[in-house]
Structure 1
Amino acid sequence: MLEPAVELENVHLSLGRGAARVHILKGLSLKIARGETVGLVGPSGSGKSTLLMVLAGLERPDSGTVKIAGASLNGLSEDALARFRGANIGIVFQSFHLIPTMTALENVAIPLELAGAGDAFSRAEAELQSVGLKDRLRHYPAQLSGGEQQRAALARALAPNPSILVADEPTGNLDAATGASIIELMFALRRDRGATLVLVTHDPGLAARCDRTVKISSGRVEQEEPLAVPL
């Protein structure tokens, strides 16, 4: 039996300091199978994006266990966590987060260079071609449309060939037609590579495309469909 791609057990997380400290995740437990696509849904402020940051290794929980691709993240140092994240997890944000002073090619090559890949730029070019940006390699983010920036961000996330892809409202800053094309591309690339996909969305149509939806409410799993892929 395969290890789950994601396994969270009794995770608690509070953010802020003093009187402003807020208990966001409240004993949350969740398993996601390898190769599964899961949509995290729920009202604003329910903890969806925070949950995504925890399973991406960008936030450390106050308590509870987090296992990703069979490895526990709890005891890792910051450097070890960064290396693990770079090798195993691709992240797509709503706001793209491309470095404005770097070209599309340089942006996509960054995670490969950090991982010590000697062929970082040739692989980055191949990734940009796979998302339809072969003619935009030398363009800076400001010279790209919103859809093109999200395609570049998707290429950057997939360049290290991660086993898990997480996306936080990936179409939130795009018009409907552009957003639909990004979703088609993301699902096609995920399917071709056999990666696990976990995304946060307010779009019921996008959530319905996933194997399973998990509703988050007040920092807890309120409703969870049966696993589409046996663990």
Structure 2
Amino acid sequence: MMSDTHVSPAEKPAIELQDVELSLGRAAARVHILKGVSLSLASGQATGLVGPSGSGKSTLLMTMAGLERPDAGTVRVAGQDLGALDEDGLAVFRGRHIGIVFQSFHLVPTMTARENVALPLELAGAGDAFARAEAELRNVGLSDRMDHYPAQLSGGEQQRVAIARAVAPNPDILVADEPTGNLDESTGRSIVDLIFALRRERGATLVLVTHDLSLAALCDRTVRLRAGRIETQAQADAAAAVA
């Protein structure tokens, strides 16, 4: 498993960040989150982002997905400089290239499972949105729950709907922010198995934020963050020795 910050020149990068700086908040409450982050992730690679709470993992993931704009530096995804896109352009780009799975599911409560999964397909103008949504729900084991609303589903079922929604447009890149954080251990393991199975089937690039080192170990590569910077293996070993 790799833990350095670069891919080899022979690999095609799916995501490239160069000297990314990002602060959040206003005035005295403004906090410097990402500090000179440079990172290159190969196409088709599964990467686990790990680090202590407050290290910037989720912020880095959201920056990769174009949900946070850096104050400085460059973010390039699937060959596209995200800084060159306006908000509408970013939304269209995400719809075509990036599937996002959140810890808190973010399903529309007034829509059925089928409607939730069909939503990004409809927004993209797909004429077969509902047929594709049904196929994705069957693929995640929810063929008998298509007409249920989120409140009628268990946490694990809601996350399966969220995963089906994320992969329905067949994105090049799948990002997941603590996707098992709100689930019990058994349900969380089934969700992990599902995410990795879908990634293998589709050849997508996966970026996964997790506190669980055993989950990160399933990835091809681990990237460690500490205090907004990428940590080398030597730095991690030194920090562990002090602790």
TM category (shorter chain) comes to over 0.9
Residue 163 of structure 2 corresponds to residue 171 of structure 1: no
Residue of structure 2 in register with 1:34 after alignment: 43
**Alpha-carbon distance between aligned partners in 1 of 2:63 and 2:182, rounded to the nearest angstrom:** 23
Q: 1:213, 1:224 within 8 Å by CA — same for their partners in 2?
A: no
2:71 maps to a residue whose letter is D
1:15 maps to a residue whose letter is L
Other structure's SS at 2:217 match: helix
Q: How does 1:1-231 map to 2 (within 5 A)?
A: 1=10, 3-223=12-232
2:98 maps to a residue whose letter is I
**Alpha-carbon distance between aligned partners in 2 of 1:205 and 1:222, rounded to the nearest angstrom:** 19
**Alpha-carbon distance between aligned partners in 2 of 1:174 and 1:25, rounded to the nearest angstrom:** 28
TM-score (structure 1 length as normaliser)? 0.96
**Alpha-carbon distance between aligned partners in 2 of 1:93 and 1:101, rounded to the nearest angstrom:** 19
**Cα deviations across residues 105-130 of structure 1 (Å, max 9, x unaligned)?**
00000100000000000000000000
**Alpha-carbon distance between aligned partners in 1 of 2:85 and 2:217, rounded to the nearest angstrom:** 35
TM-score (structure 2 length as normaliser)? 0.91
Superposition deviation, residue 204 in structure 1: 1.1
Q: 1:11, 1:63 within 8 Å by CA — same for their partners in 2?
A: yes
Equivalences, count: 225
**Alpha-carbon distance between aligned partners in 2 of 1:107 and 1:16, rounded to the nearest angstrom:** 31
**Alpha-carbon distance between aligned partners in 2 of 1:30 and 1:223, rounded to the nearest angstrom:** 12
Residue of structure 2 in register with 1:228 after alignment: none
Superposition deviation, residue 224 in structure 1: 6.1
**Cα deviations across residues 59-100 of structure 1 (Å, max 9, x unaligned)?**
000010000011111110111110000100000000000010
**Alpha-carbon distance between aligned partners in 2 of 1:63 and 1:221, rounded to the nearest angstrom:** 17
Q: 1:214, 1:224 within 8 Å by CA — same for their partners in 2?
A: no
**Alpha-carbon distance between aligned partners in 1 of 2:221 and 2:12, rounded to the nearest angstrom:** 18
Give identity over the alignment, percent.
Answer: 73
Residue of structure 1 in register with 2:6 after alignment: none
1:9 maps to a residue whose letter is Q
**Cα deviations across residues 139-187 of structure 1 (Å, max 9, x unaligned)?**
0000000000000000000000000000000000000000000000110
Superposition deviation, residue 3 in structure 1: 3.2
1:164 maps to a residue whose letter is I
Q: 1:26, 1:219 within 8 Å by CA — same for their partners in 2?
A: yes
**4+ residue stretches of structure 1 with deviation over 2 A?**
none
2:76 maps to a residue whose letter is K
Gaps of 5+ in 2: 1-9, 235-243
Shift in alpha-carbon separation, 1:224–1:93, aligned structure 2, 3 A: farther
Other structure's SS at 1:74 match: helix
